[in-house]
Amino acid sequence: MSLDHTLLSNRAVRSAEIQLKTEQVSLFYGTFQALRNISLDIREKAITAIIGPSGCGKSSFLRLFNRMNDLIIGARIDGKVVIDDINIYDRDIDVVELRKRVGMVFQKPNPFPMSVFENVAFGPRRHGRINRGELEGIVERSLRQAALWDEVKDKLGQSALALSGGQQQRLCIARVLAVEPEVILMDEPCSALDPIATLRIEDLMRSLSSDYTIVIVTHNMQQAARVSDMAAFLMMEKDRAGMLVEYGPTSQLFTNPKDKRTEDYITGRFG
Amino acid sequence: MLQRGAPSAIASAGLSRSLRRRWRFGEKFIESFIFFNGLLAIIVLLGVLFLLMREGLPVLSYTSPLKFLFGTKWYPVSEPPTFGMFSFFMATLWVTLIATAIAVPLGVGCAAYLAEVAPSSVRETVKPVVELLAGIPSVVMGLIGLLLLSPLVQSIFNLNTGLCGLTAAIMLSMMSLPIIVTVSEDALRAVPKEFREASYALGATRWETIRHVCIPGALSGIAAAVMLGVGRAIGETMTVLIVAGGALAVPLAPTEPMMPMTAAIASGIGNAVRGGLQYQALFAVGLILFLMTLSVNLVADRVLERQKRKFAR
Amino acid sequence: MAVQTISKRELTQRTAFSLLVLATAIVAIPVLFIIIYIAVNGAGAISWEFLTQPPSQAGKAGGIFPAIVGTFFLMLGALIFSLPVGVLAGIYLTEYARDNWLTRLINMAILNLAGVPSIVYGLFGLGLFVLAMKFGMSLLAASLTLACQALAITITTSREAIIAVPREYREGSLAVGATKWQTIRHVVLPHALPGIITGAILSMSRAAGETAPILVVGAAFILPGLPTSPFDQFMALPYHLYTAAAHVPGMPKTTIWGIALVLLVVVLSFNSLAVFIRVRIRQRRFGS
């Protein structure tokens, strides 16, 4: 099963600015080590894909950036996760503000059991925007950015749960966009969606990446190849801890991987 | 108001400025308030214990603890007053034992039927009825006992009055049934179906499976159910107040009128001078009552925890 | 020669099952009998006058209006004092409490609160609210006492309702930068609301039916008027029933059954309402 090279993302890496990076990060759940010594620099306003076989810790790695791992009892990290020269695991970091700046879209679309409008307005409301006119503007802008506005503009008051799976996921993206993040983390955002919805989300990702840094976890290699500028390949070692095997521009990783394990994974020999 | 997506000016200037800890006062205050409410259950329970001890223990400097617990004469208005609660204790014992003896076979049998034998249509009908029984106020049960059951008991047993321990026990058994049925049924349903299947595969009938596999497997849960039922019977007030007869002598048979501890407190407290000896004595009885139900419930909780862990997967 | 005989084991099973059915019948039938009996015998007393007039002739005639009003006030009072605590405690136990000795102690306390005899709650209310806090024999003291009794219900039902809120909603909220309390207030609580309301209704129903606590803390059989302040004494249905049945010679039986019927209707309708809401929640969440 070889990769169709014409599908590879041809996008030049726009900027070499580093926005997020991990420095020798290891993640533990209690005594179990989930990630080992990962150092990675994520480029600003690029799409970075984290790929690898299931169970190797891709989602756990992604959640380092918005400290969603904090919700798990017993989770702790060694090493640093740095955003703009600040280690976000420092003691005096405001996690709430961090999550405003680093948004997340989940694997299974999780709109609130509220109306479409209320879903998107949720974040801004919590951050103090109460003016109705202002909120309406934010909601429209976010839904347009998420390529959902035309489909829901007449149904803003309807329950979000009535939308299709693909629409719900775009709604979740709009919800994140409404708080004006810098970074959008996407944890297998298309795995619960049908192929057509998937392609729409991929188009959306491309259009968003001119303004936002996107980090996406995906187990779908073709998707990673289609969509991302940079790709990081993670793998599980014998003790089930995830480690970084290779990281580089997508086109290079998929056509000319430096590590044999990467090559084996890409060509489908395992995983 | 259309704007093309562009991060606001603050954001593009970098994340650093806004990331340091912001002191969220409101949030901290709310969390402390929530924590306090979380503790309230403990506070109230300890408050009850403390109050009972504070108002009740002083009587033990007047009457020795042994005389209080085992004395048979409760004469608050004599000169000098004597407080011996043994007849109350015996009455509680009588009604609780008989109520439990009636309610356990019926309750466990009903639970076994509902959990193992009954078709779901029957189950869906009977369960709400049992819940209905749980909802009937105790004063109404007392009324039924007074007007319907006690004449019956009186004529069957040829008594002077049908207001006796037996009548009270029968009404009490009805009030313990819902909790015994519910908890036993849960315990039976918690027995993994693999056990049953193994039994059938060896050629056992359904009844044999119930008797030798299900009930033993659910035994600790059933024991807990029984204990909770006992706790209920010990603590029930209005039914026994109305129906048990209210006699102060030590009851030697269930067909005698008697005064369980709960009824003793309820009938005496209205007349007791606040802070006086009788008042203290009644609080002391309340303390004993509280400790009895507390210990029964604690044991039942422990047993239920163990049963849950046994079958946790 | 094939003669159909019932094996001994089959016979044992049939006998055993018959006994089980008998047990179930003995459990179920008296309830229905009681309810029907009260309905039949009490219906005769129910009239517009009965429900809206105060009692006369030492309660042997007239109506029970003040008792209904008093019960209503007690239900409200118990609700006001126990629901907020119940919800906040439920929030603490689900969102903040860690798995340590304190949490186990709290859970144990909740279970044991449920098992405290109602007369003991009465003594507690007498000692604390009536005497120590000097509220006197009053609606306030009685409401607080009943609220303490209802705590176990409100905490448990609130906790169950809040735990049932899916994790995804909380994650979605936190991931857009909402604080924990904002998440609880705007996402978790609204979703848990029907379950919380169920608990509220059950606690009100419990307050309506309890006699022993209010017997000790402030209920009266006949009062000249309706309570006008929380510090007034009050009449209440269960106490009225008790006194009428056990302490008023010459009380017409129909009246007694009538009071019982009204009390039963109040308690059982609230219980049914709670069950109805519970079923609707389950249908809405899992049925569709």
In a domain? residue B224? yes
Kindly state the helix (H) or strand (E) to which residue A39 belongs, with its residue range. Answer: strand A32-43
- What is the C-alpha to C-alpha distance for residues C244 and C239, in angstroms, rounded to an integer? 8
Report which DSSP code applies to C29. Answer: H
In a domain? residue C37? no
Q: Are C176 and A103 in contact (CB under 8 A)?
A: yes
Full pLDDT tens readout for chain C, 288 residues: 455 667 888 888 999 999 999 999 999 999 999 999 999 999 988 888 888 888 888 778 888 899 999 999 999 999 999 999 999 999 999 999 988 999 999 999 999 999 999 999 999 999 999 999 999 899 999 999 999 999 999 999 999 999 999 999 999 999 999 999 999 999 999 999 999 999 999 999 999 999 999 999 978 888 888 888 889 999 999 999 999 998 888 889 999 999 999 999 999 999 999 999 988 888 877 654
- Can you give the residue range of the structural domain that contains C122? 48-287
Cβ A68–C176 below 8 Å, yes or no? no
Judged against a pLDDT cut of 80, whether residue B11 lies above it is answered with no
Cβ A93–B19 below 8 Å, yes or no? yes
Cα of C81 to nearest chain A Cα, Å: 29
Count interface pairs B-C at CB distance under 8 A: 256
Cα of B46 to nearest chain C Cα, Å: 9
Nearest partner of B137 among C38, C50, C151, judged by Cα: C38
Nearest partner of C106 among A73, B40, B49, B291, judged by Cα: B40
Does the beta carbon of B129 lie under 8 angstroms from any beta carbon of chain C?
Answer: yes
From its phi and psi, is residue B54 left (phi > 0), alpha (psi between -120 and 50) or beta?
A: alpha
Cβ C98–A172 below 8 Å, yes or no? no
In a domain? residue A193? yes
**Residue B278 structure tokens:** 């009788």
Per-residue pLDDT at A37: 92
In a domain? residue B268? yes
- As a three-state string, the secondary structure of A199-213 is HHHHHHHHHHCCCCE
Give the residue on C whose Cα is nearest the Cα of B27.
Answer: C181
Cα of A26 to nearest chain C Cα, Å: 22
Minimum-distance CB partner of C260 among B140, B241, B289: B140
Residue type, C221: F
In a domain? residue A10? no
- Chain A interface mutation, best of C103, C165, C176, C284, highest count of A Cβ atoms under 10 Å: C176
Does the beta carbon of A52 lie under 8 angstroms from any beta carbon of chain C?
Answer: no
Per-residue pLDDT at A157: 92
Give the residue on B whose Cα is nearest the Cα of A182.
Answer: B11
Contacts of C17 in chain B (CB under 8 A): 113, 117, 207
Across all residues in chain B, what is the average pLDDT?
Answer: 89
- What is the C-alpha to C-alpha distance for residues C165 and A134, in angstroms, rounded to an integer? 30
How far CA C62 is from CA of C44, C222, C247, C253, in Å, comes to 14, 12, 18, 14
Cβ B24–C179 below 8 Å, yes or no? yes
Q: How many CA atoms lie within 13 A of C30 on its CB side?
A: 21
Cβ C88–B33 below 8 Å, yes or no? yes
Per-residue pLDDT at B25: 74
- Chain A interface mutation, best of B19, B24, B25, B28, highest count of A Cβ atoms under 10 Å: B19
Q: Above 0.85 for ipTM, yes or no?
A: yes
Count of positions (residues) in chain B: 313
**Residue B124 structure tokens:** 């869906």
Classify residue B9 by burial, with Cβ atoms within 10 Å: 0-12, 13-18, 19+: exposed
In a domain? residue C36? no
List, in sequence order, every residue forming a beta bridge with A21; answer none if it has no partner. Answer: A41, A82
Q: Which of residues 181-240 of B touch C (CB under 8 A)?
A: 181, 205-208, 210-211, 228, 231-232, 234-238
Q: Would you place residue B18 in the very low, low, confident or very high pLDDT band (cuts 50, 70, 90)?
A: low
Cβ C175–A108 below 8 Å, yes or no? no
Give A240's contacts (C-beta < 8 A, 6+ positions apart).
A32, A33, A34, A55
Contacts of C166 in chain A (CB under 8 A): 110
Does the beta carbon of B98 lie under 8 angstroms from any beta carbon of chain C?
Answer: no
Per-residue pLDDT at C238: 95
- Can you give the residue range of the structural domain that contains A37? 16-266
Q: Are B107 and B307 in contact (CB under 8 A)?
A: no
Any idea what the CATH number is for the domain that residue A32 is in?
A: 3.40.50.300
Per-10-residue mean pLDDT, chain A, length 271:
48 61 92 92 92 89 92 90 88 88 94 94 91 93 93 92 93 95 94 91 92 93 91 90 92 90 83 53
Count of positions (residues) in chain C: 288
In a domain? residue B63? no
Q: Are C124 and B47 in contact (CB under 8 A)?
A: yes
Ordered alpha helix ranges (H), A19-147: 58-62, 95-101, 116-126, 132-145
In a domain? residue C10? no
Cβ C13–B206 below 8 Å, yes or no? yes
Among A7-11, B202-206, B278-282, C267-271, name the one with the lowest average pLDDT. A7-11
In a domain? residue C236? yes
Residue type, C230: P
Contacts of B11 in chain A (CB under 8 A): 101, 180-182
Per-residue pLDDT at A187: 94
Cα of B149 to nearest chain C Cα, Å: 11
Count interface pairs A-C at CB distance under 8 A: 64
Q: How many CA atoms lie within 13 A of A235 on its CB side?
A: 16
- List the Cα angle B7/B10/B12 in 5-degree steps: 50
Give the residue on C whose Cα is nearest the Cα of B131.
Answer: C271
- 3 state SS of A79: strand
Q: Do β-strands A213-217 and A47-51 pair in parallel, antiparallel, or remain unpaired?
A: parallel
Contacts of C114 in chain B (CB under 8 A): 297
Cβ C216–B118 below 8 Å, yes or no? no
Cβ C242–B238 below 8 Å, yes or no? yes
- Can you give the residue range of the structural domain that contains B245? 74-310
Give the residue on C whose Cα is nearest the Cα of A125.
Answer: C178
Per-residue pLDDT at C288: 40
**Count of domains for chain A:** 1
Does the beta carbon of B3 lie under 8 angstroms from any beta carbon of chain A?
Answer: yes
Supply the pTM of this predicted model.
Answer: 0.88
Per-residue pLDDT at B23: 66
| Helix, strand, coil share of chain C (percent; to 5) | 75, 0, 20
Does the beta carbon of B26 lie under 8 angstroms from any beta carbon of chain A?
Answer: no
Cβ B38–C92 below 8 Å, yes or no? yes
Per-residue pLDDT at B3: 35
- List the Cα angle C72/C75/C77 in 5-degree steps: 105
Nearest partner of A217 among A67, A71, A68, A52, judged by Cα: A52
Cβ C172–A111 below 8 Å, yes or no? yes
Cβ C245–B181 below 8 Å, yes or no? no
Report which DSSP code applies to A47. Answer: E
- As a three-state string, the secondary structure of chain B is CCCCCCCCHHHHCCCHHHHECCCCHHHHHHHHHHHHHHHHHHHHHHHHHHHHHHHHHHHHHCCCHHHHHHCCCEECCCCCCEECCHHHHHHHHHHHHHHHHHHHHHHHHHHHHHHHHCCHHHHHHHHHHHHHHHHCCHHHHHHHHHHHHHHHHHHHHCCCCCCCHHHHHHHHHHHHHHHHHHHHHHHHHHCCHHHHHHHHHCCCCHHHHHHHHHHHHCHHHHHHHHHHHHHHHHHCCHHHHHHCECCCCCCCCCCCCECCHHHHHHHHHCCCCCCCHHHHHHHHHHHHHHHHHHHHHHHHHHHHHHHHHHCCC
In a domain? residue C17? no
Does the beta carbon of B13 lie under 8 angstroms from any beta carbon of chain A?
Answer: no
Cα of B15 to nearest chain A Cα, Å: 6
Does the beta carbon of B205 lie under 8 angstroms from any beta carbon of chain A?
Answer: no
- What is the C-alpha to C-alpha distance for residues B138 and C260, in angstroms, rounded to an integer? 11
pLDDT in tens, B67-104: 999 999 999 888 888 899 999 999 999 999 999 999 99
- List the Cα angle A3/A9/A15 in 5-degree steps: 145
Minimum-distance CB partner of C172 among A100, A110, A125: A110
Contacts of B232 in chain C (CB under 8 A): 115
In a domain? residue B254? yes
- 3 state SS of C18: helix
Any idea what the CATH number is for the domain that residue C239 is in?
A: 1.10.3720.10
In a domain? residue C39? no
In a domain? residue B110? yes
Alpha-carbon Rg for chain B in angstroms: 27
Q: Are C222 and C31 in contact (CB under 8 A)?
A: no
**Count of domains for chain B:** 1
In a domain? residue A204? yes
Place of tokens 């022993």: C212
Any idea what the CATH number is for the domain that residue B180 is in?
A: 1.10.3720.10
Give the residue on B whose Cα is nearest the Cα of C18.
Answer: B113
Question: In the complex, which subunits touch C with 3 or more CB pairs below 8 angstroms?
Answer: A, B
Cα of C85 to nearest chain B Cα, Å: 6
Kindly state the helix (H) or strand (E) to which residue A151 belongs, with its residue range. Answer: helix A149-152
In a domain? residue C83? yes
**Count of domains for chain C:** 1
Q: Angle formed by the axes of helices B25-56 and C139-163, to 10°?
A: 130
Cβ A180–B11 below 8 Å, yes or no? yes
Give the residue on C whose Cα is nearest the Cα of B269.
Answer: C216
In a domain? residue A123? yes
